[in-house]
A = this chain, B = another copy of it.
Amino acid sequence: MNNFIFENSTKVYFGKGCVKEYLACKLKNYQTIMLAYGGGSIKRNGIYDEIMTILEKENKDVIEFGGIPSNPTYAKVLEGARLAKENGADIILGVGGGSVMDCCKAISLAAVYDGDVWTDFWQRPGCISFEPLPLGVIVTVSGTGSEMNGGAVITNEETKIKTGRDYPACNPNFALMDPEYTFSVPKLQTASGGFDTLSHIMEIYFSEPDENNVSDDIAEAVMKSVIRNLPAALKDPADYTARSNLMWAATMAENRVIKLGKKTDFEAHQIEHQLGAYTDCNHGCGLAVIQPTYYRHIYKDGLKKFVRFAANVWKIPPRGKTDEELALAGINALEDFIKEIGLPKTLRELGIEDKGILPEIAQSCNISPGSYRQLTHEEILEILKESY
């Protein structure tokens, strides 16, 4: 294994009824709560009422900050930070999925920082030498794993840059995760969130070192769990076993554990981020379109791992196949799975009507050092065109 440093400060409360059981206790040292959420689904499914009942019973002062969009924007971060400052929020309570949690992390910095957080912490990596505003989260959509890391992906609409950073200081203080809260998540979002989890694991798995490695072993275990439980949750949205496994798998994919001793790359995410910045497409759907094509471009450079992926994750019998055939069979199995869970397979299905936008998107992509091979902007354009 490569050298690593590991820490994770988030305290997780997981399971049925955890919000009712622990929220009041977690907020006991705070009076003014900024309640942040997304498009309002929590008002329809009863989660908002459940939380408000607790906050009212505890006589908290509540500042509401709703309407956080998917692909949260820097403008929204600044709006939230202003609100938190003006009202003297003691803590942010983010209720939602990755977009809400990411936006809240950026707000937790912007609410106490005098400079421009985009420039100092997202445009380039920065050093956080101050205490962010405390943050707690209640997860209602699983997939991004944002609940147990310091990562936040923010879109700057002006410069059309969507980028993520992971600052341990931004880890939520606590995360309340009730799998029943995800029962009402619509099918497409369930599939997209589950695929986002799978995508995170693949981005980490397909990178060096390739020698035997506990982290890769764990990565395979968590992938297999997602592949088993995602179709089950799509079939029966109230399947507690499936929902609880998906929820915890999402966290395990992004709480740094499976990255330990490994390089990471996230090139498919880099490409999808720019797709999102230009088209506001759904994140998991964008990844589903890009990832198989991307892997067909790089699999020869990481052949051994792609063979292992086919054999261990998809259980494809190796007999009679060359390594290349086996590797490709694994990527095909991934594509079949994407089809099975009902996600789009092309950029056109994703709703991108103008192919002419692709060169600009390709050119804007950040190029990471490369898991098995560093891409060029030209090759990213090829990948986008092949995915169209």
Residues of A within 8 A of B (CB): 1-18, 179, 211-215, 217-218, 220-222, 224-225, 228-229, 241, 244-245, 248-249, 252, 257, 260-261
Contact = CB atoms under 8 A, between A and B. Distances in A.
A139 to B, nearest CB: 14
Given A1-B14, A218-B221, A245 B213 contact: yes
Contacts of A5: 11-14
Contacts of A248: 1, 214-215, 260-261
This chain's copy number in the assembly: 2
A311 to B, nearest CB: 12
A1 B243 CA distance: 9
Closest 8 CB pairs of A and B: A3-B15, A217-B221, A221-B221, A7-B11, A1-B244, A6-B12, A214-B225, A218-B221
Nearest to A9: B9
21 contacts: A1-B14, A1-B241, A2-B15, A3-B14, A3-B15, A3-B16, A3-B17, A4-B12, A5-B11, A7-B10, A7-B12, A8-B8, A15-B261, A213-B245, A214-B249, A217-B225, A218-B218, A218-B252, A221-B221, A248-B260, A248-B261
B228 A224 contact: no
Given A14-B5, A15-B4, A257 B260 contact: no
A218 B212 contact: no
Nearest to A229: B212
Contact of A222 (B1, B217, B245): B217
Contacts of A260: 14, 248
A15 B7 CA distance: 15
Nearest to A18: B3
A29 B229 CA distance: 47
A158 to B, nearest CB: 38
B212 A245 contact: yes
Contacts of A13: 5
Contacts of A9: 9
Given A214-B248, A217-B224, A6 B1 contact: no
A191 to B, nearest CB: 19
A221 B201 CA distance: 15
Nearest to A178: B3
